[in-house]
Structure 1
């Protein structure tokens, strides 16, 4: 059997490649660690089941002030990757931030933590991945670090790398990829 090339076209976003196709085409990058597959621990939310873009990293814990501050900037098709310390005690992204991300042109948000307002987020034209949902909102202290290396889903992730997400999983690449 031969492999068929799968590329997805996103509404209003750049086309992105299927993660399985990327893995098949870039075995050497997987072996070297330049391409990493995140653990399958993230749930799928938002209208865009398939998304990709350059990464902006953020490290916070049970506090979403910096999340809002970043999402208030032009997204330009980027993906906000938030290390929320795997907290399942409150949500750090909710419906208002999902709508803000959509309005500002972000391609997606990956949360190593919880979201809330799931129905609102599912109505947003962005891709969202998170560990779970939780009804409580986060603290508002403004504590955290932007543009720092983070470790989530079994991989180190750096600001400026590329994220590729679809129904099969999430990939992190040092550079933009093609097949």
Structure 2
């Protein structure tokens, strides 16, 4: 194999974990798993509310080059989320309407880029969820190298092929299949607790005594 190139098989989706996590908020799941998981600086480009929960197909490319992303499009299947480590470079777009249309035709449910994308109106028009570090109209190179289905890092978060990608208006988190069900269980418990807290606020019964208690413990009151 030529140095700098790797094309590995797609990991099968962990459907039970995807089903359990679908609909949960990224902030809630991140909270219950120690508030350490989540990509920083990668936000949705869609204008309308977006959410996704699917199987990670990962790609690593050199800055400004999308040759291996085109190759990755060929292996996408229903329920996949394309996740690309472009080194955080936003000087050139790695993905646009044509590639998005190809991904969608293969059944992909979203895309995540630690890089720039373009044709943002098309993502909104076709209701295809996409998260990116930036937007730039300038096109990419197509020379390589790059790797498909390898561990990558986007926004400071490690993503392995076959991880479950959960995304919404707040951003993106990745969960390994091993922790997916526990994350979903704890997340659902926390969402129930938060709904009850909000109801106490609406009912005028919210108890914020913990604030002063915490400050007294620190000697601030």
Q: Shorter-normalised TM-score: what interval?
A: 0.7 to 0.9
CA–CA distance in 2 between the matches of 1:48 and 1:95? Answer: 19
2:68 match: secondary structure: helix
Computing the radius of gyration over CA atoms, which structure comes out larger, 1 or 2? 2
State the Cα distance separating 1:48 from its structure 2 match: 6.7
Within the candidate set 29, 34, 43, 1:30 is matched to 34
CA–CA distance in 1 between the matches of 2:146 and 2:28? Answer: 35
CA–CA distance in 1 between the matches of 2:49 and 2:129? Answer: 4
| Structure 1 unmatched ranges of 5 or more | 1-12
1:35-84 deviations in Å (ceiling 9; x for gaps): x1221x12312467100111111101211121122123342211111000
2:94 match: secondary structure: strand
Contact 2:81 2:165 in 1 (8 A): yes
Matched, 1:103 2:110: no
Matched, 1:63 2:65: yes
Equivalent position of 1:131 in the other structure:
133
Map 1:1-179; keep pairs closer than 5 Å: 15-24=22-31, 27=32, 29-30=33-34, 36-39=37-40, 41-46=41-46, 49-61=50-62, 62-175=64-177, 176-177=180-181, 178-179=184-185
2:121 match: secondary structure: helix
CA RMSD in angstroms comes to 2.1
1:16 match: secondary structure: coil
What is the TM-score normalised by the length of structure 2? 0.66
| Structure 2 unmatched ranges of 5 or more | 1-17, 186-221
Per mean C-alpha deviation after superposition, the further-off stretch among 127-136 and 146-155 is: 146-155
State the Cα distance separating 1:157 from its structure 2 match: 1.5
What is the TM-score normalised by the length of structure 1? 0.80
Displacement over 6 Å in runs of 4+: none
Identify the structure with the greater strand proportion. 1
Identify the structure with the greater helix proportion. 2
CA–CA distance in 2 between the matches of 1:37 and 1:113? Answer: 16
